[in-house]
Amino acid sequence: MKKLLYILALIIASANVMAQQPLNQRGNTGEQWYESIVAESRPWLIAWKALDKPEINPNVRSNFVIIEKIAKYSKIYTGIDYSHTVRTLGNQLTEKELGDIISQINETEEPIKSIDHFRALMGDYEHISGVSPGRYISNSCEKTDVEWTLTSTQWDTTWNFDLPASGHITFTGEIKQVILPKGTKIYRVIGDGQNPAGKYWTYQPPQTKADLIGATAVKPSWNNHKWCVEYTVDDIELPVWEGPIAAQSILDGLDTQEYHLSGGGIQLYITEDARNHIMGGKEAMWKLAKPITLE
């Protein structure tokens, strides 16, 4: 079987090299051309080896699109441990769980965002900064709306600052209603193409990927952390919901049993009316976004 996979990898690699630059157009020696084929075949061998386990779902092992995607990203992201792919592609997963993972690998809705997103999909949890050992256990608040009760003469009475159920469940423990005065700085880290005027903010920017993924429980599939928005409260006081962040699983749609994102940092939830009427909305926030590099 391994010899067959090696031959298939060489055939595919040869076709790719020929398509890019046929031998008679290269001006290189046959030896250099052969080296190009070997280099091109390596990602395919990595992909097949990653799936060549009896515990891997047979529909996955025979899915050429998945093999092609793993080969593609193994060239983009190096240093991945492929020995734990059973965690995310094994027979123990339910049909829905497996479908969710396959959808992410196949980039059905959006591309793989970062090396940590790819690591998570390959089950390489140990090398994701900020993950905590142990099974994910939800510690979220109830899924209920919470009414805002504080007032300010600076706000229009039609503005809605209530905390919706979808925001409430991202907190754990005590949540406070807080009015931020002029001069207060808050931060939001986003990826390419994401909303700079989103709901979730913090009092301090993350210094490392472990801060972002661990303390604020940002799943690798949510964010490739390319930009940091720093907003300073201006003349109008800013209403926010403040509280500790609930834990999360590492991947959407999958109970990552051995590791999780512990959360526990402090987050600020800001409603749409506050973001649009007080902060200035998406256009204003993009002007405040600066590139960030987290290690």
- One domain for residues 118 and 169: no
- One domain for residues 183 and 103: no
CA 134 to mean position of chain CA atoms: 20
pTM: predicted TM-score of the whole model, two decimal places: 0.86
- One domain for residues 184 and 250: yes
CA–CA dist 196, 187 (Å, integer): 10
- One domain for residues 276 and 193: yes
Q: How far is CA 214 from CA 132, 194, 203, in A?
A: 8, 20, 16
- One domain for residues 113 and 31: yes
pLDDT, position 197: 97
The whole domain housing 246 covers 165-291
Q: Per residue of the chain (295 residues), give pLDDT as tens.
A: 444 544 555 555 455 544 555 545 544 555 554 455 455 667 878 888 899 899 999 989 888 889 889 999 999 999 999 999 999 999 999 999 999 999 999 998 888 999 999 999 999 999 999 999 999 999 999 999 999 999 999 999 999 999 999 999 999 999 999 999 999 999 999 998 899 999 999 999 999 999 999 999 999 999 899 999 999 999 999 999 999 999 999 998 888 789 999 999 999 999 999 999 999 999 999 999 999 999 9
Residues pairing with 178 in the sheet: 240
Q: Catalogue the E-assigned strands of the chain.
A: 132-133, 176-180, 185-190, 200-201, 227-232, 238-244, 259-260, 266-269, 289-291
Burial grade of 6 (CB within 10 A; 0-12, 13-18, 19 or more)? middle
Phi, psi angles (nearest 5°) of residue 289:
-75, 135
CA–CA dist 163, 145 (Å, integer): 6
Q: How far is CA 268 from CA 26, 104, 245, 261, 271, in A?
A: 57, 29, 9, 18, 10
- One domain for residues 169 and 285: yes
Domain membership flag for residue 158: no
Q: How far is CA 11 from CA 5, 8, 116, 142, in A?
A: 10, 5, 31, 55
**Domain count of the chain?**
2
- One domain for residues 172 and 262: yes
- Three-state DSSP class for residue 33: helix
Domain membership flag for residue 147: no
- One domain for residues 21 and 112: yes
Domain membership flag for residue 283: yes
pLDDT, position 124: 96
